[in-house]
Amino acid sequence: MPQLVQLNVVWFFPALLLVAVAWGHFNTPPTNRSGTTFALFYIGAALYYASILALWFLVIIVVSQGLTQATANPEARAQIAPFAPSIAALIILAASQFRQVIQIDTAARSFCMRLAAIPLEAEQLGAELAQRAIFQPPTEQLRRQVTKIISENIDPQALNFSSDGTLSARFTRAVALHRLFIVPNNDGTPLEFPANAHGRSAYARIMHQGEATAGRANARYEELMQAGFAYFTSPHPTKELKESLNRTITELSNLICSLIARYVLYCNVTRIGRRERLSKMGFDAPMGRKFGLDQWAATILTTIILSIAMMTLMPGTHPLPATKIMTIAVTFALSIGFAVISAVLVAQRFIERHEGEKPAYPPFAELTLAALVVAGLWIAMRIGVPLVPALVQGSSSEFQGVITQFWDRLPGIITPLVCTISVGLLCSYVDLLNRTWFHVAVVGAIANGLALMAAAFSSGCCWRTTCWLSSSM
């Protein structure tokens, strides 16, 4: 029991302290839950805590090294070393008060928010949909309804489904958007775009939370119909009528598209999923190279199979129990999966920012932050997976064994770190290879394989240092 209490003091209390620090930092303006996109806030907060967790373990190593060098007495080292996690947590807490560290911390929070698609994403997506995205009614029934509304209530000349930017085309687009997303909430008619049970539930929630916005959209729609009637039925429309119609079209489109953006962000976390949903709703959302959840799951599954095959079929390896082989394979595959998805997200943002430009400087800052997030997730997984049986058994020796085993395997963190940076750099410049996807995949596999070989060599070099530090702790 005393050992269990000591483990709580040494590891769990500092970890909980860092949870409070991460929550307090991440929940400060301009990031607040009322301005974020629902569950994505908590995803961003978890990623931010993962980066702090990785930084914590790096500081622990530095502190342990410093404590070991500070005294030559083995007994003194053994007594001081267990307090390294608490000291490292206090160092992080104290360092967060300095201005330079605050700037770095702000960049890390911003990166985690962008990674989770939080900061003003609804406003940005809504503005893009309202101003630049091409829209056509997704169903023939909706097209007929818009045709009937404009032809009977305004004038047939006001009907224009093309995307030529004329006033009639923009007017028709605004009427179609209102009919697509606002009218079903007003009169309870079925949605004019594909939506399963989750999508219909999300629509109801968005319209409930955006009731004020929907009310303003209905008011602007009435103004739109009045301004449209005055403009299109006038033989010589004045400049004031044109400006009034333009203003009303813009306001109505912005209101409706802001609700559509919140709906899409609520339903889909990934950019690929959002584009697919927007495409089904009638927006022109061209699809780029796809790397979604299916590809991510296939990457993890392939890594598991290859890991099991290597541990069981390679000559000269010691036979391991099947449960241990599966545990090692799954944890390694998940760490590689975290690295790949983080690197791909950074690369996609890099490509979108510099699309059509000359090769830009690599996104080392974002990749470093992504690597810290991956390292934090790796640490949580390496401790959490073996911790489950230890919690079931309730033995303090099992807890100590989990920490000791993790510390012995700490050099393995180099592999997901290197994989994140390697895959991120390769994907960032994939457009420079004017080749087929097969040739690009081969080049990327060879380059990433060489990077992982270098990571394995570095892990071997760090293993002796880790063993020395673990003997002190």
Using the predicted structure, report yes or no on whether residue 218 has a pLDDT greater than 90: yes
Question: What share of the chain in percent tops pLDDT 90?
Answer: 16
Q: What is the 3-state secondary structure (H, E, C) of the chain?
A: CHHHHHHHHHHHHHHHHHHHHHHHHHCCCCCCHHHCCCCHHHHHHHHHHHHHHHHHHHHHHHHHHHHHHHCCCHHHHHHHHHHHHHHHHHHHHHHCCCHHHHHHHHHHHHHHHHHCCCCCHHHHHHHHHHHCCCECCCCHHHHHHHHHHHHHHCCHHHCCCCCCCCHHHHHHHHHHHHHHHHHHHHHCCCCCCCCCHHHHHHHHHHHHHCHHHHHHHHHHHHHHHHHHHHHHCCCCCCHHHHHHHHHHHHHHHHHHHHHHHHHHHHHCCCHHHHHHHHHHCCECCCCCCCCCHHHHHHHHHHHHHHHHHHHHHCCCCCCCCHHHHHHHHHHHHHHHHHHHHHHHHHHHHHHHHCCCCCCCCCCHHHHHHHHHHHHHHHHHHHHHHHHHHHHHHCCHHHHHHHHHHHHHCHHHHHHHHHHHHHHHHHHHCHHHCCCCHHHHHHHHHHHHHHHHHHHHHHHHHHHHHHHHHHHHC
The contacts of residue 127 (CB under 8 Å, 6+ apart) are 254, 257
AA letter at 112: C
CA count, 13 A, side-chain hemisphere, 110: 9
Q: What pLDDT score does 77 carry?
A: 59
What mean pLDDT comes out for the span 174-200?
90
Q: Which residue has the higher pLDDT, 358 or 373?
A: 373
By the 8 A CB rule, do 31 and 109 touch?
yes
By the 8 A CB rule, do 419 and 342 touch?
no
Using the predicted structure, report yes or no on whether residue 389 has a pLDDT greater than 90: no
Q: What pLDDT score does 462 carry?
A: 57
The contacts of residue 185 (CB under 8 Å, 6+ apart) are 203, 207, 214
Q: Which residue has the higher pLDDT, 401 or 340?
A: 340
Q: What pLDDT score does 203 carry?
A: 92
At which residue do the structure tokens 């022109």 appear? 284
What mean pLDDT comes out for the span 264-284?
81
Q: What pLDDT score does 2 carry?
A: 46
Q: Which of 25-39, 244-258, 291-305, 314-328 has the lowest mean pLDDT?
A: 25-39
Rounded Cα distance between 60 and 56, Å, is 6
Q: What pLDDT score does 181 carry?
A: 94
Q: Which residue has the higher pLDDT, 273 or 11?
A: 273
**Average pLDDT over the chain, rounded to an integer:** 75
Q: Which of 22-31, 297-306, 426-435 has the lowest mean pLDDT?
A: 22-31
Q: Token pair for residue 99? A: 């201005």
In this prediction, residue 187 has a pLDDT band, given cuts at 50, 70 and 90, of confident
By the 8 A CB rule, do 101 and 144 touch?
no
Q: Token pair for residue 231? A: 């403009």
Q: Token pair for residue 161? A: 């489904």
Using the predicted structure, report yes or no on whether residue 453 has a pLDDT greater than 70: yes
Using the predicted structure, report yes or no on whether residue 170 has a pLDDT greater than 90: yes
Rounded Cα distance between 201 and 197, Å, is 6
Using the predicted structure, report yes or no on whether residue 225 has a pLDDT greater than 80: yes
pLDDT digits (tens, 9 = 90+) for 116-131: 654 456 777 788 888 8
In this prediction, residue 252 has a pLDDT band, given cuts at 50, 70 and 90, of very high
With b meaning 16 or more CB within 10 Å and e meaning fewer, what string describes 313-322?
eeeeeeeeee
Q: Which of 184-198, 246-260, 396-410 has the lowest mean pLDDT?
A: 396-410
Most confident of 100-109, 193-202, 270-279, 373-382: 193-202
AA letter at 1: M
Q: What pLDDT score does 237 carry?
A: 86
By the 8 A CB rule, do 347 and 424 touch?
yes
Q: Angle at which helices 437-472 and 414-428 pack, to 10 degrees?
A: 160
AA letter at 153: N
CA count, 13 A, side-chain hemisphere, 357: 10
By the 8 A CB rule, do 109 and 25 touch?
yes
AA letter at 424: G
Using the predicted structure, report yes or no on whether residue 28 has a pLDDT greater than 60: no
Using the predicted structure, report yes or no on whether residue 238 has a pLDDT greater than 70: yes
Q: What pLDDT score does 13 carry?
A: 65
Q: What pLDDT score does 118 carry?
A: 43
Rounded Cα distance between 164 and 212, Å, is 32
Using the predicted structure, report yes or no on whether residue 92 has a pLDDT greater than 80: no
What mean pLDDT comes out for the span 284-312?
73
Q: What are the φ/ψ torsions at residue 69 (nearest 5 degrees)?
A: -75, -20
What mean pLDDT comes out for the span 216-235?
92
Rounded Cα distance between 175 and 256, Å, is 10
Using the predicted structure, report yes or no on whether residue 81 has a pLDDT greater than 60: yes
Rounded Cα distance between 274 and 172, Å, is 24
pLDDT digits (tens, 9 = 90+) for 35-68: 445 556 666 677 777 777 777 777 777 776 666 6
Rounded Cα distance between 249 and 257, Å, is 12
Using the predicted structure, report yes or no on whether residue 168 has a pLDDT greater than 80: yes
By the 8 A CB rule, do 38 and 433 touch?
no
Using the predicted structure, report yes or no on whether residue 446 has a pLDDT greater than 80: yes
In this prediction, residue 180 has a pLDDT band, given cuts at 50, 70 and 90, of very high
In this prediction, residue 175 has a pLDDT band, given cuts at 50, 70 and 90, of very high
List the beta bridge partners of residue 283: 135
Q: What pLDDT score does 418 carry?
A: 83
